[in-house]
Chains A and B, each alone.
Chain A
Amino acid sequence: MEAAASYVKDGDDLRDTELRLGLPGTEAPEKPAAPSTRGSKRALQEDGDMESRAKSRPLEVDCGEAPAAKTQIVGWPPIRSYRRNSFPPRKVEAEAEAEAAGLYVKVSMDGAPYLRKIDLKVYKGYKELREAIDNMFKCFTQGEVSRKEGCSSGSESAITYEDKDGDLMLVGDVPWEMFISSCRRLRIMKGCEVRGLRTRQYS
């Protein structure tokens, strides 16, 4: 199910043999800042994103498993950024998209005063996504959100998402690739709304 992402384990080893500019031991330059990041309101978010990106590296072309991606030129072709992100992609007969542009979706947690934005392309699977979300909203949760179920020991919560038809779905049911192509935004539900949802294990 996550075949395209199965090279994750080897990714770290291959990194040492990559040809790169820069001294060994230095990290490759980070991706450019999210277009949605706003100056004064989003200082906190910027740091959070940097952290999660350092843990899970963006799709590396050199790994040789994914089809060779065209190098993305920043700001080319000249189309508005919201058009790139919010417009649903054309139905593609070919296999996994080689697009290196970010796929940013909003993440809201019931009760949190502000939302976050994450780049789904950065994560290899549900486990990484859940970890990143846990990290981001750590300051708002009382108890640890369990990895296996959808609910925590303390207060119940579940990660849900809105798909391209506008329906609210539980995260984890469909294969990862299908999920990231249909996910429009994420919502961490808490409390009594969660009890109505069926909790499931996900890979």
Chain B
Amino acid sequence: MVRGFGWAAAFPDEVWEHVFSFLAADADRNAVALVCRAWHRIERRSRRRVFVGNCYAVAPAAAVRRFPEVRAAAIKGKPHFADFNLVPTDWGGGAEAWVEAMAEGWPHLEELRLKRMVVSDDCLELIARSFKNFGVLSLVSCDGFSTAGLAAFAANCRNLRELDLHENEVEDNCLNWISHFPDSFTSLVSLNIACLEGDVNTSVLECLISRCPNLRTLRLNHAMPLEKLVSLLQRAPQLVDLGTSKFSADHHPELFFKLESTFAGFKHLKSLSGIWEAGPAYLPAIYSVCESLTSLNLCYATIQSPELLKLVSRCKNLQRLWVMDLIEDNGLIAVAASCKLLQELRVFPSDPYGVAPPISLTEHGLVAISAGCLMLHSVLYFCRQMTNAALLTIANNRPNLTCFRLCIIEPHTPDYISQEPLDAGFSAIVESCKDLRRLSLSGLLTDRVFKSIGASANRLEMLSVAFAGDSDAGLHYILSGCKNLRKLEIRDCPFGDKALLDNASKLETMRSLWMSSCSVTLGACRQLALKMPRLNVEVIDERRGRPLESWPDDFPVEKLYIYRTVAGPRSDTPPCVWTV
């Protein structure tokens, strides 16, 4: 009989390592690490990819020490609501601590992906200098750096393959940063500079593109004029993913023909984006690639419905479509008829503050899509009206939805026909779509919808709630149900202390909870922090009055961010944040 777990020694470590390499999910590798000491040791030594969903959940040095052979890391910082200016700009999420620890402990790091973090120019330079084989840098929704930092990065990163700058706030202080890539640099595969505001020197970029034969992805920024774009693109007919610059100019037939033939030359193009300010004159130049496109992002294109319709009807193989609500219901009906392989749809508001005459995008468009696109699983939809009946139809049509984010622009909007709350509609969604992982609610909603969500949304991982609910019961339903909930973000709801305290232990099973403009008091936060030492309870108050200790228990908390952590309270809180 084998004593204890001695069977682990029956095979050499390399064999177990090879077995573990088939486990893609971190959760599975975590489970393996709990079986015995030997497996814990083998697993941690062989883990190559690390994902840190909250940069404050663990100390950088601890993470680096536990997994010494990491080659790829992804780290997220600020809460999601930072995207909508609800989080103070100095809240935190600085990348230095992580980059410094990684420079020390992971010299072989090849990939780094940061989201919603504050990255300084020094950080960028440190990244370029510290990792000999560094190949992939992805910065999404970050800020704190400038084009001077990018210049330093370009100059020092010898083997860079991917530079992905997505929706960052980048200070423009170095005009020719692209020229800092050395002449010997030829390894570029993917370059995304769409978020940069400044001009980019076209001839330098052309040179770069010409000497990088493996370039597959090129996403330019808005600034480049159309004529220059054409000559640039002629150097890279092998592109698979293209983000154009401005797509409008005074009409020149010659320019149009050049543009058209350039696009005709793209034999491998699958993904198209950019197309800022597209005019009807130049849009038809794209027609030749439509058939092969699987991803089309038109959310910056102020194209009206008729032109949009003509364009998307040709995209028979489209899997992902991001578009402005200018497409209108008619356009979406055409999409439903033509794009049978559609999996993801996002419709953004062209006029979020309602100053222009309203356009004809209603619930009908979404219903048509749900009926016509059988593979649809991910939806983000901004509109101004909705009915329970429409939501029920969508739920019945598409039980395979995994992500449903509906934003009815005016808060508290009821079913516009029955004037009822939209409880029934959203309940239908969670009851029908058993694999729903992400849900955003809007419109007039009572506690009833939360009862349904708590009971039915068993796979739900992320829930966003705004201007909804009647009482604490709403929050209680969520926290006492939703077995797999990881992230909960709530604003402007009448949820308070009782639900929070009654479900304190639930919070340790989640990554984070954000509550702003709700009815939570400081006293409850204090109690919660006392009860749950492995939670950081951060109270955010930007009025910067007296320190937290002096406020009474019934002090209303404006913004609250709670997250589980093994690192204890963080040391970099700004003046407006207190860890209770």
Q: Footprint of B on A, CB under 8 Å?
A: 32-33, 35-41, 70, 72-84, 86-94, 97-99, 101, 106, 114-115, 164, 166, 185
| Chain B residues closer than 8 Å to A99, beta-carbon distance | 353, 355
What are 28 A-B pairs with beta-carbon distances under 8 A?
A33-B88, A33-B89, A35-B85, A38-B89, A38-B169, A39-B90, A39-B144, A73-B411, A74-B84, A75-B491, A76-B411, A78-B84, A78-B407, A78-B440, A78-B464, A79-B84, A79-B348, A79-B349, A80-B84, A80-B141, A82-B169, A86-B197, A88-B277, A88-B302, A94-B356, A94-B357, A106-B197, A115-B171
In the bound assembly, the distance between CA atoms of A83 and B169 in angstroms comes to 11
* A35 with B89, Cβ < 8 A, contacts A41-B144, A70-B354, A78-B83 known: yes
Quick check: B195 and A84 within 8 Å, CB to CB? no
Partner of A94 from B141, B223, B225, B355 at Cβ < 8 Å: B355
Select which of B88, B326, B348, B353 is within 8 A of A83 by beta carbon. B348
Does B353 contact A38, Cβ atoms closer than 8 Å? no
Q: Give Cα A203–Cα B568 distance, bound, in whole angstroms.
A: 60
**DSSP class of B's interface residues: helix, strand, loop or mixed?**
loop
Q: Are B300 and A81 in contact (CB under 8 A)?
A: no
* Chain B residue with the shortest CB-CB distance to A164: B277
Q: How far is the CA of A41 from the CA of B146 in the complex (A)?
A: 11
List chain A residues, Cβ under 8 A from B348.
Answer: 79, 83
A93 and B359 alpha carbons, distance in the complex (Å) = 13
Measured CA separation A72–B167 after assembly (Å):
24
In the bound assembly, the distance between CA atoms of A16 and B526 in angstroms comes to 42
Q: A-side binding surface: helix, strand, loop or mixed?
A: loop
Known A-B contacts A38-B169, A77-B407, A83-B348; A97 and B355 likewise in contact (beta carbons under 8 Å): yes
The CA-CA distance from A32 to B197 in the complex, in Å, is 23
**B246 contacts partner chain A, Cβ-Cβ < 8 Å:** yes
Whether A39 and B574, one on each chain, are in contact in the complex, defined by CB atoms closer than 8 angstroms, is yes
User: Using Cβ atoms and an 8 Å threshold, which residues of chain B touch A94?
Assistant: 355-357
Q: Please, which residues of chain B bring their CB within 8 A of the CB of A114? A: 173
Contact: A72 with B89, CB < 8 Å? no
Q: Which residues of A contact B302 (CB under 8 A)?
A: 88, 90
Give the chain B neighbours of A92 by CB distance below 8 A: 355-356
A106–B356 alpha-carbon span in the complex (Å): 26
Q: Return chain B residues, CB-CB under 8 Å to A78.
A: 83-84, 407, 440, 464, 466
B185, CB-defined interface residue at 8 Å: no
Cα distance A35–B169 when bound, in Å? 9
Q: In the assembled complex, how far is the CB of residue B182 from the closest CB belonging to chain A, in whole angstroms?
A: 27
* Residue on B nearest A39 in the bound complex, by CB: B90
Set of chain A residues within 8 Å of B246, measured between Cβ atoms: 166
Q: Which residues of A contact B225 (CB under 8 A)?
A: 166
